[in-house]
């Protein structure tokens, strides 16, 4: 199976924009949908992006997702950062089994 690699941590200031990458080790990133989950400390994960770039109802449009076949990676971009965005973010995809990235800790300072 494949792996999804994310940066361990990123940090940015409130109001700025941050992008979290998720690189697929083998197989095409475009061949299966990518999802992104947010997990705040002490809480269960919630979906912020599904099917590469779709936002569930209730998720602000500050959150966006994309894929880049040239780098075989997916990205989660959060604009207008708020302190409440501080959380762990996990990418996830499927190819004969469900695979998660290792998670990225976002610090908004």
Partner 1 sequence: QVQLVESGGGLVKPGGSLRLSCAASGFTFSDYYMSWIRQAPGKGLEWVSYISSSGSTIYYADSVKGRFTISRDNAKNSLYLQMNSLRAEDTAVYYCVLMPYSYGFFDYWGQGTLVTVSS
Chain contacts with partner 1 (rule: CB under 8 A): 33, 35, 37, 44-47, 50-51, 56, 90, 92, 94, 97-103
**Least gap, CB of 45 to partner 1 (angstroms):** 5
**Both tokens of residue 18?**
């941050």
Q: Which is nearer to partner 1, 7 or 102 (CB)?
A: 102
Distance separating alpha carbons of residues 34 and 89, to the nearest angstrom: 13
CA–CA distance, 29 with 73 (Å, rounded to integer) = 6
CB of residue 15 to partner 1, shortest distance in Å: 29
Nearer to partner 1, 13 or 54 (CB): 54
Name the burial class of residue 59, with classes exposed (0-12), middle (13-18) and buried (19+) by CB atoms within 10 angstroms of its CB. Answer: middle
| Of 1 and 13, CB closest to partner 1 | 1
Q: How far is the CB of 80 from partner 1 (least distance, A)?
A: 25
- C-alpha–C-alpha distance, residues 103 and 25, integer Å: 15
Provide the residue count of the chain.
109
Q: From the CB of 35, what's the least distance to partner 1, in Å?
A: 4
């Amino acid at each position: 199976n494949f792996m999804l690699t994310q940066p361990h941590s990123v940090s940015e200031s409130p109001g700025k924009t941050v992008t979290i990458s998720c690189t697929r080790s083998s197989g095409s990133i475009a061949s299966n949908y990518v999802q992104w989950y947010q997990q705040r400390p002490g809480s269960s994960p919630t979906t912020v992006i599904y099917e590469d770039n779709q936002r569930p109802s209730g998720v602000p449009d500050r959150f966006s997702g994309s894929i880049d076949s040239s780098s075989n990676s997916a990205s989660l971009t959060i604009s207008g950062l708020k302190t409440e965005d501080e959380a762990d973010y996990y990418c996830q995809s499927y190819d004969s089994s469900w695979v998660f990235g290792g998670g990225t800790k976002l610090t908004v300072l």
